[in-house]
Structure 1
């Protein structure tokens, strides 16, 4: 009989009578992993604090470029303001915190994975690793798309409302919050293919059901774009356009996953001698 593809328990592990790790050992393992993750996060925040001003200048680049496109009415260089004496400190601290999360996240996820992986089969571990990697890449791609494509065009459009009698006043904290939220929103939107992959893998959706909802999703995309972006057509389109494209990519992914599931189910029925199910 073929051996199961779980890895054997590590040497010296405190196993119970049934070969499983006792509850207290699980709790100690979880405590150690969370401690390591917390240390990595603190180290990441401290390290990023020394680069917070550079990161802030990098985040300012889209609005600086957009401002220069309206230099005839706004002037050559945008000036950031702050409402209180402590606002610049908290802006840099916020940057250090978010950058620390980003920098330490691979190690944090590694610690969590080391806690979860021993309870999974080899195939589940492979799928989990690939899913985590592609999820991270999709999120980074969404944030990068927002930064390099969306933000400058969006700010240029919004600054276009300025004139001789209407001048913008930019505040550090408000600009940072809006830019960060936009990048997070696009990162989350770009996770759609991975979400559809998961739902299709467990049989909750198919490419057929997604295709039937395709026309309605365009309406949903623009509604979401209106909720997550300023109330103008350009920003809503910049959000809804990628969502619609990603939805159609997700339909293709669901088609591949559904076909694989159907072929696997057909092979199992043929092996068991069961008749094929009637199509609904």
Structure 2
């Protein structure tokens, strides 16, 4: 049983790790805040390129030109600081893990960071140009396309999170196989349900157009297949170590 002193030590360690994680985000934010407007322009470039000639983005709120770039910069600071944040999580839980568990989890933390960044990059470089070109092209005749900068920011942050989190599917599958919640064979038998599920998730997390839904659903399905393959390896490793 954990005594009171041990519990206090754990809570103190957790607090210190959380403070370090928050400080890392704040430090990155301070280093980027001077370039907030440039960062916003870079993120809005896929939409800017898709706008009709002479069209521009607008700000319907008088405070939006100030707060929209700052909000984006804060979120970017969090994205950049994710490796250090995950390290703090790892440093907190590592003392309670066996050597075998450390060998299994350490690569997963690195892979989860890489996959999260990959999801964001896929959204920005592949998905955004396609969906914004499509959405601006279907505007009815006589309608001037002039997106609001705050609404645009909310949309792209939602898509960044959606693609970043959904690209973590292989990690989730590996963890489920490793802990014995499921098996690769069981997941293969449910493949048809998974395919339907990823399209439903794509419909819920993306704008209401078929293109963006499909561009999220197909990578999710492929990542599911990768996760099943890698999960089989981790399952074998776990059973061999028992």
TM norm structure 1: 0.78
CA apart distance, 1:163? 4.6
Unaligned runs of 5+ in 2: none
CA contact 1:46–1:96 (8 Å) conserved in 2? no
Q: 1:208 to 1:33 in 2, by over 3 A?
A: closer
Match of 1:275 in 2: none
Instruction: Tell me which residue corresponds to 2:224.
Output: 247
Alpha-carbon distance in structure 2 between the residues aligned to 1:200 and 1:245: 18
Counterpart of 2:42 (choices 58, 80, 84) is 58
CA RMSD in angstroms comes to: 2.2
Note if 1:81 corresponds to 2:58. yes
User: Which of 146, 159, 176 matches 2:123?
Assistant: 146
Gaps of at least 5 residues in structure 1 are 1-17, 68-73, 269-280
Q: Which moved more, 1:250-259 or 1:197-206?
A: 250-259
Residues 1-16 of structure 1 correspond to what in structure 2 (within 5 A)? none
Q: Is the 8 A contact 2:59 2:149 kept in 1?
A: yes
2:9 counterpart of 1:25: yes
Distance 1:104 1:260 in 2: 31
Mean alpha-carbon deviation: is it higher for 213-222 or for 106-115? 106-115
Mapped to 2, the partners of 1:35 and 1:233 lie a distance apart of 42
Query: How many angstroms apart in 2 are the aligned matches of 1:23 and 1:227?
Result: 41
Deviation (angstroms), 1:257: 3.1
| Counterpart secondary structure, 2:62 | coil
Give the alignment's TM-score, normalised by structure 2. 0.89
Aligned equivalent of 1:34: 18
**1: distance between equivalents of 2:124 and 2:11?**
41
| CA distance in 2 between partners of 1:242 and 1:155 (Å) | 19
| Structure label with greater radius of gyration | 1
Cα gap change, 1:109 to 1:217, in 2 (>3 Å):
closer
1:261, distance to aligned residue in structure 2 (A)? 4.7
SS in 2 for 1:217: helix
